[in-house]
Amino acid sequence: EGPYAEVTGYYADRDDRWVMEVTAVTRREKPVFNSILSGTEVGNAYGLIAGAGAFDKIHSLVPEVTAVHFSRGSVPYHLVVRMNKTHEGSQRNAIMAAFVSLAFAKTVTVVDEDVDIYDPADVDWAVQTRCCHESGVLLIPDTIGHRLNPMVEDDKWTRMGIDATVPLPRPDKFTRATMENVDLSAYEITGI
């Protein structure tokens, strides 16, 4: 088998694999879900499937979790978790629940409800303005890694959890700046 482009964006080593003889191929007239898990585009399907399962598991352990999303460029390695944090420490519980739920997760970033987890720039903004690197980064060395990732050595890697949530009680200095909605019909606009 191989070498094939893998989820990592690198080629996997060639390896001897099982041989399968296909005797028939069938299909549904209207498929329920049509996808293929292969190559570097695996994130398109895997992110949806694994994300849904991960949400169920993580939410059952940490009910404050409201959504999860695999970062597009790093499926299945970087999971972003959104939560409505009501207790200090629950963000770390969410990180640990994500690692327990996802064998391949290498990085878990937890953000507040006001962060768009589908927008990498918004997630990065939260990390850069809300994460205290001394206390908000959790490193877990010597965990079993995903063998296709070239950073795995002796089957091990280091996992990283990032707390990009505002500390509780929520200080005013973390109030996010927003643009006020203006009803332009209330103004007479001339000269255009």
- Please give the Cα distance from 156 to 180 (Å, whole number): 49
The owner of tokens 């332009």 is 184
Quote the domain boundaries for residue 96.
43-169
Does residue 26 fall inside a structural domain?
no
On whether residue 36 sits in a domain, the answer given is no
Query: Cα 46 vs. chain centroid, distance in angstroms?
Result: 11
pTM equals: 0.79
Distance (Å, rounded) from C-alpha 179 to C-alpha 15? 56
Give the pLDDT of residue 33. Answer: 72
- On whether residue 29 sits in a domain, the answer given is no
Total count of domains within the chain: 1
CA nearest neighbour of 100 among 144, 151, 153 = 144
Instruction: Going from the first residue of the chain to its last (192 residues), give the mean pLDDT of each consecutive group of 10, the final group possibly shorter.
Output: 74 82 90 64 70 94 97 87 96 97 94 96 97 96 89 93 93 86 86 72
Kindly state whether residue 53 falls inside one of the protein's structural domains. yes
The CATH number of the domain where 54 resides is what?
3.40.1670.10
DSSP β-ladder status, 78-83 and 156-164:
unpaired
How far, in Å, CA of 75 to CA of 172, rounded?
A: 35
83 domain residue, yes or no: yes
Residues in the chain: 192
Inside any domain, residue 156: yes
Q: Considering the domain boundaries, does residue 30 fall inside one? A: no
pLDDT of residue 103: 87
Q: Answer whether residue 129 is part of any domain.
A: yes
